[in-house]
Amino acid sequence: MEAPEKDKKSLNFIENIIEEDIKNGKNDSRVHTRFPPEPNGYLHIGHAKSICLNFGLAEKYNGKCNLRFDDTNPTKEEMEYVDSIKADVQWLGFQWNEEPFFASDYFEQLYEWAVLLIKKGKAYVDDQSQELISQQRGTPTRPGTMSPHRNRSVEENLELFEAMKRGDFPNGAKVLRAKIDMASPNMHMRDPVMYRILNAEHHRTGNKWKIYPMYDYAHGQSDYLEGITHSLCTLEFEVHRPLYDWFLDQLIDSSYRPRQIEFARLNLSYTVMSKRKLLDLVKQNIVNGWDDPRMPTIAGLRRRGYTPASIRAFADRIGVAKRDNTIDVGLLEFSVREDLNKIAPRVMAVLDPVKLVISNYPENQTEEITLINNPEDPEAGSRNIPFSGELFIERDDFMIDPPKKFFRLAPDKEVRLKGAYVIRCERYELDEKGEVKTIFCSYDHDTKSGSGSKQVKVKGTLHWVEAKTAVDAEVRLYDRLFNDEDPAGHKDKDFMAFLNPDSLQIKSNCKLEPMLANVSAGDKFQFQRIGYFCVDKDSMPGSLIYNRTVPLKDIWARMNS
């Protein structure tokens, strides 16, 4: 099926290839992609790009997309990761074809194919250490050295490989190698290792196997076995492609082949993305687990308050490229701001409260103020919140001795309280430390928002929360985890040297409007004038925790301009 005419001009290079293949009736015009994570960590935003691409193309062309776990390395893989990966893919809004697939389901078939390669004289058992083998690989301009075991007889190879499988040898004692070309200009073709001995328990096959296939030996055949038509991967695998083709050419008679297409991986500024580095952050307790809201993991972004729609929009916006580049993390933040602007109810919250008393407001009186919930969403309706003569406002919305352009509250100055009245600051009191303790104001009853009889012009409008009904909460202000644009890109310094010491700031004494007490984990709001926030998963009635997703404006862009 071709995309409608109107979408044509925006086709990316992968879509162009797919549409050409469909037009030519290749693979009966089927489109079948796959997303093949190794379950050795949580998925990150780079994976999200790959997920959106693979599942998105399957959706667009009425095809299928498999979720396949590349679980060929038992020492690093765990069921916890398998479960988190499934949850993340579904949370992003995608559903895989049938059940998830596992490379480990093909261990038997891969083994039989390895035996077939030995019988054809295309694979041999090498007794040398992996270290020696890599030393003998040579360089791109200098041919490698042939192993002394390269010309073992088929019978001897079959026997030794069988013994490897039985578990007769310790780890590292032997490997099975493809017999290709030690002088190939492509280093990956210089008799690559196909199997290694690993006496390790596998999260699915248990202790059944003592030998495990290398990723490069398993990957192309896994694609083949699943009937994948377009196998999308990142650029570094371009040089592996001839090897994947070589294996299939030795093993398969039919003409069907998965077509590998390489695209540029996503790099984000101010972020590290390799799973090994993310694991370091978790293991060294730099962050609180894989779903710490500062992590670029999907679980972290979710906990931070990102929506699936915002991540999909981001993936769409950055598109697919053939050359590596780095995307400004500001673009990701822009995408979530754009989405939350549409859906997040506006509420009032004071993060750094100072008491404000309206001296001429009738004592013990409370009234209801009506505020609309979301100007971007007419369906969102409105709500009432209490107002009285005792309120909290933000500490930095008041200055004793303000500079000229300070349009907020100061002695003898007037401001409007959002949705309520215009007030004037009469005096203030300090505490023993010299900090402002209470601000005393007067109000003008005729200036009520919407219905007031007096039109008063003031330069500033402040958010506020009524004191007696205010809800207490802890608010966590998250910022970028690194203060360097490319923390992993320094030759002389470890990425940990660039941790942002202020990436988490906890405000433990926040005052929120009453409705923010009855919330569930994940609920999202715009705290007016401050930013977008969501309820943390550890939040409970009576001990509320809110996470800042993003400030309202890109403060980093302003700082750098």
Residues at the contact surface with ligand ATP, assessed by CB under 6 A: 36-38, 46-47, 49-50, 233-234, 265-266, 273-275
* Closer residue to ligand ATP, CB minimum distance, 37 or 531: 37
Write the CA distances from 17 to 22, 27, 429, 550, integer angstroms. 9, 13, 72, 38
* Closer residue to ligand ATP, CB minimum distance, 235 or 458: 235
Catalytic residue among 179, 241, 275, 302: 275
Give the contacts of 411 (CB within 8 A, at least 6 positions apart): 400, 425, 426, 427, 428
Nearest distance in Å: CB 540, ligand ATP: 34
The closest residue (CB) to ligand ATP is: 46
Closest to 366 in 3D by CA, of 385, 391, 383, 387? 387
Nearest distance in Å: CB 271, ligand ATP: 10
CB half-sphere exposure, 413, CA atoms < 13 A: 25
Nearest distance in Å: CB 426, ligand ATP: 58
* Closer residue to ligand ATP, CB minimum distance, 34 or 174: 34
Nearest distance in Å: CB 275, ligand ATP: 3
Beta strands per DSSP E along 290-362: 325-327, 346-347, 349-350, 353-358
Axis-axis angle for helices 79-91, 45-60 (nearest 10): 60
* Closer residue to ligand ATP, CB minimum distance, 266 or 481: 266
Query: Burial code of 161-199, b = ≥16 C-beta within 10 A, e = fewer?
Result: beebbeeebeeeebbbbbbbebebeeebbbbbbbbbbbe
CB 321 within 8 A of CB 348: no
- Spatial distance between the Cα atoms of 271 and 327, rounded to a whole number of angstroms: 10
* Closer residue to ligand ATP, CB minimum distance, 36 or 220: 36
Nearest distance in Å: CB 484, ligand ATP: 18
- The dihedral built from the CA positions of residue 515, 521, 524 and 526, taken in this order, carries a sign that is positive
User: Is 265 known to be catalytic?
Assistant: yes
What are the tokens at 337? 């701001």
* Closer residue to ligand ATP, CB minimum distance, 37 or 74: 37
CB half-sphere exposure, 35, CA atoms < 13 A: 29
User: Is 448 known to be catalytic?
Assistant: no
User: Is 513 known to be catalytic?
Assistant: no
Catalytic residue among 137, 265, 277, 507: 265
Nearest distance in Å: CB 297, ligand ATP: 11
Nearest distance in Å: CB 325, ligand ATP: 11
What are the tokens at 295? 């992590």
DSSP-assigned beta bridge partners for residue 285? none
Task: Count Cβ atoms below 10 Å from residue 327 Cβ, excluding itself.
Answer: 18
* Closer residue to ligand ATP, CB minimum distance, 117 or 232: 232
Catalytic residue among 19, 38, 338, 485: 38
Active site residues: 38, 265, 275
